[in-house]
Amino acid sequence: MVQEGRSLSAEQFLLITLVVQLAVVATLATMLVRFSRFRRILLTEKRDWPERLTFALMFGVPLAVGVGARLLLRYNAADFSLVGPFIAGLIAGPYAGALVGVMVGVPATSAGEVLALPFAVGCGFAGGGLREVCPKEAIWHFSPFVFTGLHRYAWRILRRFQVDWQVVLIAAPIALELIRQFLGHRFGAHRLFYLGTDTPGLTLVVVLATVLSVAIPIKIWNSARIEHKLQEQEKLLLAARVEALANQINPHFLFNTLTSISSLIRSQPETARTVIVKLSGLLRRLLRSQDHFVTLREELAAIDEYLDIECVRFGTRLKVVKQIEPDSLDVVVPSMILQPLVENSLRHGLAPKVGPGELVLRSHRSPGHTVIEVIDNGLGMSPTSGGTPDEASGIGLRNVNERLRVIYGANYRLQLESVPGQGTRARIEIPEAVITERITA
């Protein structure tokens, strides 16, 4: 026995159309925010004319296509001739809203809907007018749920005689939808498109759908704005932490060098004078450079100046060996990342040792990384937990470890291997990056 198929009633078809309309507007808003140029426009409240025009075109063209789909395919859910111009005016100003109104109104007018163009342009100016008078941040807090606490808002307005902009912003699309319903009933759907209903309950549902169609894109775009701001704040915080860690190293190095000079002043005044001259040259170099990232070539040049100071103090006891692969010299490394490692080897490994000592600087590239090692044959130290600096280590080693972790992530850290009486190896891995121009924080 064959059952006859049931067709949807007018009320069911209207409800399905409204649900699909919300899905369409959410999809469109999500697609637009994925374009970096559109997202940049949302980030600033003061926009010049090219940005407003870009916003109007990127938002208006899909809306105009939607009106065309409604006219040609009878796909009513694609028509946003009220919501689109209103949102454009609310976000980018009255002229952008009016332009979007023209874009969605012209196709409908060409099909005989003579009220479509003036109504759409009016919606654009309505949204733009609200943008001109209300606080800009209030727009991004647009929410249809304001009516759940309407009694509190009403009491606040009466008590303080202040305008609650959330109520005003919600009231605007409600008023526009009611006007459209009135004009549609008065002049007919062939003069102005509207989703007509015969019951107050369904009219209320249509009005609610209009408000949600305004709220959904604003919420999606505001989430993108907040995410971008959080990313920017995270970058600023990271830069501040790197700078603070870098600034810790220089005073630490300066303090240790001045301590060495003070020990030489009475016993070896000429040596102390030579060290002071070399120290002044190194400090001038540090003051001239404000970069937080340099090439390994530049970092080794700074280490050479530091070793010149230490060689004066150590004399013939210190032998420096470099095993640097040429293809690693242009790899980008954090500035002053090797100096604490060299200083630790000299002060705690080689200085207490009786007899000559050797310091080896080694680098080589492996797939995706550059490995840099500082090796000495000094007294060594007790192995630390996991081969990384702990609280017992000096400030320089902990600083290097923290900088690597902050810049490159938790998987990158300073690795220490030490055998008492035989020496210490400090090893760091740097993710591979080669530059031809200087990188600054």
Residue 439, pLDDT > 50, answer no
| Domain CATH number, residue 321 | 3.30.565.10
Alpha-carbon 250 to chain mean position:
30
Provide the mean pLDDT of the chain.
Answer: 83
Which of 192-196, 226-230, 435-439 is least confident? 435-439
Domain assignment present for residue 271? The answer is yes
Q: What is the pLDDT of residues 24-41, one digit of tens each?
A: 999 999 999 999 888 888
Residue 273 and residue 193 share a domain: no
Q: What is the pLDDT of residue 68?
A: 94
Decide which of 237 and 73 is more confident. Answer: 73
Residue 337 and residue 228 share a domain: no
Residue 339 and residue 199 share a domain: no
Q: What is the pLDDT of residue 112?
A: 92
Question: Considering its fold, how many domains does the chain have in total?
Answer: 2
Residue 333 and residue 197 share a domain: no
Residue 269 and residue 153 share a domain: no
Residue 227 and residue 289 share a domain: no
Domain of 185, in residue numbers = 10-232
Of the pLDDT bands very low, low, confident and very high (cuts 50, 70, 90), residue 353 is confident
For residue 170, give both structure tokens.
């919600």
Which of 174, 17, 146 lies closest to 82 in space, CA to CA?
A: 174
Residue 318 and residue 375 share a domain: yes
Residue 283 and residue 215 share a domain: no
Last residue of a domain, one of 184, 207, 232: 232
Domain assignment present for residue 372? The answer is yes
Q: What is the pLDDT of residues 46-87, one digit of tens each?
A: 778 888 999 999 999 999 999 999 999 989 999 999 999 999
Domain assignment present for residue 243? The answer is no
Q: What is the pLDDT of residue 247?
A: 58
Contact 115, 145 (CB under 8 A): no
Distances (CA, A) of 316 to 68, 312, 319, 357, 426: 87, 9, 7, 9, 24
Residue 43 and residue 115 share a domain: yes
Decide which of 393 and 139 is more confident. Answer: 139
Domain assignment present for residue 3? The answer is no
pTM of the predicted model, to two decimals?
A: 0.62
Contact partners, residue 378, CB within 8 Å, separation at least 6: 345, 348, 349, 350, 351, 352, 353, 357, 423, 424
- DSSP label at 419? E
Q: What is the pLDDT of residue 246?
A: 59
Residue 384, pLDDT > 70, answer no
Q: Which amino acid is located at 265 in the chain? A: I
For residue 316, give both structure tokens.
């013939």
Domain assignment present for residue 244? The answer is no
Q: What is the pLDDT of residues 196-221, one digit of tens each?
A: 888 889 999 999 999 999 999 999 99
Residue 210 and residue 338 share a domain: no
Question: Which single residue is written with the structure tokens 């891995």?
Answer: 429
Q: What is the pLDDT of residue 271?
A: 80
Domain assignment present for residue 257? The answer is no
Contact 361, 376 (CB under 8 A): no
Q: What is the pLDDT of residue 153?
A: 56
Mean pLDDT of 248-271: 75
Cα separation, 74 vs 57, in Å, equals: 24
Q: What is the pLDDT of residues 142-153, one digit of tens each?
A: 877 655 555 555
Of the pLDDT bands very low, low, confident and very high (cuts 50, 70, 90), residue 186 is very high
Domain assignment present for residue 124? The answer is yes
Q: What is the pLDDT of residue 173?
A: 94
Domain assignment present for residue 258? The answer is no
- CA 114-116-120 angle, to 5 degrees, is 145
Q: Count how many residues are written for the chain.
A: 441
Mean pLDDT of 333-350: 85
Q: What is the pLDDT of residue 57?
A: 93
Residue 374, pLDDT > 80, answer yes
Residue 224, pLDDT > 50, answer yes
Residue 199 and residue 63 share a domain: yes
Residue 71 and residue 212 share a domain: yes
Mean pLDDT of 272-279: 82
Decide which of 316 and 428 is more confident. Answer: 428
